[in-house]
Amino acid sequence: MKATLLRKFAFGLTLAAFSAQAQNPVSITVSSSAQGPVISKYIYSHFAEHLGHSIYGGFYVGDTSKIPNTNGIRNDVVAALRKMKIPSLRWPGGCFADTYHWRDGVGPKDKRPAIVNRWWGGVTEDNSFGTHDFLNMCELLGADPYVAGNVGSGTVQELADWVQYATSDSKNPMSDLRKANGRDKPWGVRFWGVGNEAWGCGGNMTAEYYANEFRKYSTFMANSDGEGKIFRIASGANSGDYNWTETLMKNIPHNLIEGIALHHYAVIDWNNKSSASEFSEKQYFQSMRQALLMDSLVTKHARIMDKYDPKKRIALVVDEWGGWYDVEKGTNPGFLFQQNTMRDALIAGTTLNIFNNHADRVRMANLAQCINVLQSVILTDQQKMILTPTYHVMEMYNVHQDATLLPLTINNDTSYGMGNEKLPAVSASASKDKSGVVHITLTNIDPAHQQKIALNLSGLNLKNVSGRILTSAKVQDHNTFTEPEKVKPVAFKGASLKGSNLDVNLPPVSVVVLTLN
């Protein structure tokens, strides 16, 4: 009882009050000989749905806005996402994708029909942001578009026409229509989702039924020019639905599919998700438990895929992940606007470490969502824009993009416990980039103890170490429009390299990126 009271008192106080380190050090051995896979840059991708203020007011303000913009796209958003090195952006949904008919969003804006966004708040969607706006925006961002097609309420012909509209340079009705709408050359869109959450808002289908639908849609989606082979992604499982993955892998010919999706959110309780910024230690622990479940999910789904695809040709695409909480008080419940705290930074850091370490199968992942929705990297309010703790983690971790994974083993004797439950306090991943520089990313989810880390780097011949850290006094800390830089990265001085041994003192609730050469 006394220990419980002390923990409740401790949670939320400053990190300086917890300088005592955990009893057992964490030993990590980084392999210098094992040849790991390349960590695909697309693991660091994002998601933008027609939901709340994600598109309108987030990315897009219109070309008559006083907010500085390029063809209606906010310049400050573009600059921030380019610095973060956003590799790909998924659009237009989400659930919205299976009610979206792409022809409503092309041609003169004043002639586009309006619809009701039945999934998200029942608001009017005027279709002023459509295919050209999204694909041109991706060019501004330097990001590859990932277009989610409508299977739930669309047709095979509709999706096949969309592929041709965006990718074909030959003489045909769709390329002629694109040219008439002001775009001469195609965008060369590679990534295409064949529906979204077919088990739920995408049609409430069975796995067997959807597998047959996918076969049909995929057959007609090839680029007729034969150039730039498209990457077709099946609507995959909800968290631990392993039968869904098994059914798709067994029933879809492998020449028709390049990727299969997986969705998992760090949700405490779908009926009581709790506040994004005012939460107890118990709720924090539960969130981290759900986030760390991603490792088991990826492992088990990958094992099923290995049975049918031992050469790992088909990618596992985790195209929706992140923390999901109650919306902020006074906001539209259908807009899914939530604050973003150090808890979210730790969810991001641990999850990205998991994806990196499974880079042999996970080759794309899309954080949900990019702006003003769920675990955003950017929040906007009229002309104001702030970067969230999650943004900073994604920006810090971009050193792993297209680097070679250095497999590591963790002897994680130190755990973060509550009651009879324990979670690993430390997560890590490592890579070597094309210039030979090694990067190691570390997280400590324990809110009360620093962790002493002993890394063995034998065979890597490293001489210098530097680093950056993201941490704050409380797990609930976050940036606001009045205090936009309360949580931001700073130089990290807690690492010491002696020969092949690297000692790190990792503060409570922290994310660290180390650079070694």
Can you give the pLDDT at residue 25?
81
Can you give the pLDDT at residue 338?
97
Can you give the pLDDT at residue 386?
98
Tens digit of pLDDT for each residue in 452-480? Answer: 999 999 999 999 999 999 999 999 999 99
Domain 41-402 sits in which CATH superfamily?
A: Glycosidases (3.20.20.80)
CA neighbor of 129 nearest in space, from 76, 201, 56: 56
Average pLDDT over residues 246-250: 98
Can you give the pLDDT at residue 1?
40
Average pLDDT over residues 333-356: 98
Can you give the pLDDT at residue 229?
87
Residue 224 reports pLDDT greater than 80: no
Residue 126 reports pLDDT greater than 80: yes
Residue 10 reports pLDDT greater than 80: no
Average pLDDT over residues 74-93: 98
Mean pLDDT of the residues in the chain: 93
**Domain spans of the chain, in order of start:** 2-36+406-516, 41-402
Residue 281 reports pLDDT greater than 70: yes
Can you give the pLDDT at residue 37?
96
Residue 34 reports pLDDT greater than 90: no
Tens digit of pLDDT for each residue in 487-511? Answer: 999 999 999 999 999 999 999 999 9
Cα–Cα distance, 517 to 510 (Å, whole number): 23
Can you give the pLDDT at residue 228?
57
Can you give the pLDDT at residue 18?
40
CA neighbor of 55 nearest in space, from 130, 106, 110: 130
Q: Where are the alpha helices (DSSP H) in 364-415?
A: 389-397
Domain 2-36+406-516 sits in which CATH superfamily?
A: Golgi alpha-mannosidase II (2.60.40.1180)
Running DSSP on this structure, what letter comes out for residue 109?
Answer: G
CB-based contacts of 46, cutoff 8 Å, min separation 6:
81, 86, 88, 89, 90, 366, 367, 369, 370, 377
Tens digit of pLDDT for each residue in 136-174? Answer: 999 999 999 999 999 999 999 999 999 999 999 999 999
Which band of pLDDT confidence, cut at 50, 70 and 90, is reported for residue 35? confident
Which band of pLDDT confidence, cut at 50, 70 and 90, is reported for residue 130? very high
Can you give the pLDDT at residue 23?
54
CA gyration radius, the chain: 23
Indicate which residues carry an active-site annotation. 197, 320
Which band of pLDDT confidence, cut at 50, 70 and 90, is reported for residue 369? very high
Cα–Cα distance, 334 to 326 (Å, whole number): 11
Which band of pLDDT confidence, cut at 50, 70 and 90, is reported for residue 16? very low
**Percent of the chain residues topping a pLDDT of 70:** 94
Residue 17 reports pLDDT greater than 70: no
Measured N-to-C along each axis, helices 173-180 and 156-167 cross at an angle, to the nearest 10 degrees, of 60
Which band of pLDDT confidence, cut at 50, 70 and 90, is reported for residue 440? very high
Average pLDDT over residues 350-373: 98
Cα–Cα distance, 456 to 406 (Å, whole number): 12
Backbone angles phi, psi at 330, to 5 degrees: 85, 0
Residue 345 reports pLDDT greater than 70: yes
Cα–Cα distance, 507 to 496 (Å, whole number): 15
Asked if 121 and 63 touch (Cβ cutoff 8 Å), the reply is no
Average pLDDT over residues 424-448: 97
Amino acid at 384: K
CA angle 333, 338, 344 (to 5 degrees): 145
Can you give the pLDDT at residue 223?
64
Residue 198 reports pLDDT greater than 60: yes
Return the beta strands (E) in 178-228 as ranges. 191-194
Residue 67 reports pLDDT greater than 50: yes
